[in-house]
Structure 1
Amino acid sequence: MTKYLYLYSGGGKPTKEKDAKAQMAAWMSYFGKLGSALVDHGTPLIPASTLLGTAQASAATGFSIIQAESHDQAVALTAGHPHLANGGGIEVFEYMPMPTM
């Protein structure tokens, strides 16, 4: 199994407590559907600053880490993702194997 990073961008933040509870329930239901594929549910991210170089700061709003047999399977596992239903986007990155030192 290979690890994949779901990098979230955009998405609306609920303004009412009942909407926030419903949104959290949708995320927990989605994570439950992933089962053992879920490595780390992640967290929302605070906006970043770029410290070096000329690159622009990322628009990332959160992340999760999953494991899957292939990139296609990792993408398929986003079906029904609450972040997509809430107007957000997801980038799927494969962890690159690194030699141990």
Structure 2
Amino acid sequence: MPQFIFAYHGGKTPETEAEASKVMAAWSSWMEGLGQALVVPGAPVGLSRTVHHGGVDDNGGANPLSGYSIVEAPDQQAACDMAKDCPMVVMGDGSVEVAEIIEM
């Protein structure tokens, strides 16, 4: 079955312990709901650097990556349907880029 990477953009750091618990519960519930389709739960990432011909930028680029996961789905539309329930999308503070991982 094809695999897809979910590249998370945006999101925000919870300001209180109660808010952090709520956010973690939402992520845990969503990931559990993905069941065996969730191949690699992934993780948040730190500030990225963009390496290009002219040097290295420390700003993370135009749309910085904030984390990733890998899922299996029959097709890209099914993977997009899974991503629609991601807490960042539901809460409105981020987005999920969905790309098929091409087997070489």
Q: Is TM > 0.5 for Structure 1 vs Structure 2? A: yes
Deviation of 1:80 after TM superposition, in Å, equals 1.9
Aligned mates of 1:51, 1:79 — CA distance in 2: 31
Superposed CA deviations along residues 17-74 of structure 1, whole A, max 9, x for unmatched, are 0100110000000001100100011100111112342586440000011000101100
Give the unaligned 5+ runs of structure 2: none
Are residue 40 (structure 1) and residue 40 (structure 2) matched?
A: yes
Identify the match of residue 90 of structure 1 among 87, 96, 100: 96
TM-score by length of 1: 0.88
Q: Give percent identity, aligned residues only.
A: 32
Aligned length: 98
Give the unaligned 5+ runs of structure 1: none
Q: Which runs of 4+ in 1 moved over 2 A?
A: 50-58
TM-score by length of 2: 0.86
Q: Equivalent residue of 1:74, what SS?
A: helix
